[in-house]
Chain A
């Protein structure tokens, strides 16, 4: 039973356009959400996070939106750059779960020049 799902295994966008990566979750106990980026042969690196008490968090070109009622979050990258090409993982955590993250399956983003 996948508690965190990323239904799009891949996404291709043109440089300069917006990239929107989506993530759905089922566990109502999740109250903190994170996005990680992973390049081949490297470990995931933290990108941005959001607490369940917020519905939006911005950091430069990256914005994460959270819709608690729909149990859905999305990552917007504007404008997209070729260097953003990587696999993006959505992850969720419950307050009493320490550093135990539940990850989605990942979305491979390809930004074409």
Chain B
């Protein structure tokens, strides 16, 4: 069974640009969550999608957005990039909502560097 696939794995952007990251969940998983990992803030929840609907959103500005498609694949977008957006962006999938119903399976992440 293939794991969670994130693309691209590495990318470099400049301030003011925008970026789109993609996540393909494990087959059969309908929930996709996104997390940002930085050295200073650790792992922080961005948002969660389930059946194409955003179910939860973390404390991030509106420049961060996402969506989920009917095949459960998800994308997240960051507009007007700032230096502080440099981070590892992790996608996680789960069969159902609710941490108690099953753990999250993480991808390897997309490492974004903003210059």
Interface residues of A (CB under 8 A from B): 31-32, 34, 36, 41-46, 49, 51, 89, 91, 93, 95, 97-106
Residue of A nearest to B100 (CB): A32
Bound complex: CA of A103 vs CA of B4, how far in Å? 20
Q: A43-B107, A43-B109, A44-B106 are in contact. Are A99 and B42 (CB under 8 A)?
A: no
The smallest beta-carbon distance between A69 and chain B, in angstroms, is 21
Q: Is B42 a contact partner of A106 (Cβ separation < 8 A)?
A: yes
* A49 contact set on B, CB distance < 8 A: 99-100, 103
Interface size class of B (residues with CB under 8 A): 20 to 34
B85-108 vs A, CB cutoff 8 Å, 1 = contact: the mask equals 000001010100111100111111
Q: Is A99 a contact partner of B31 (Cβ separation < 8 A)?
A: yes
Question: Of B12-20, B43-51, B61-69, B72-80, which stretch is located at the interface?
Answer: B43-51
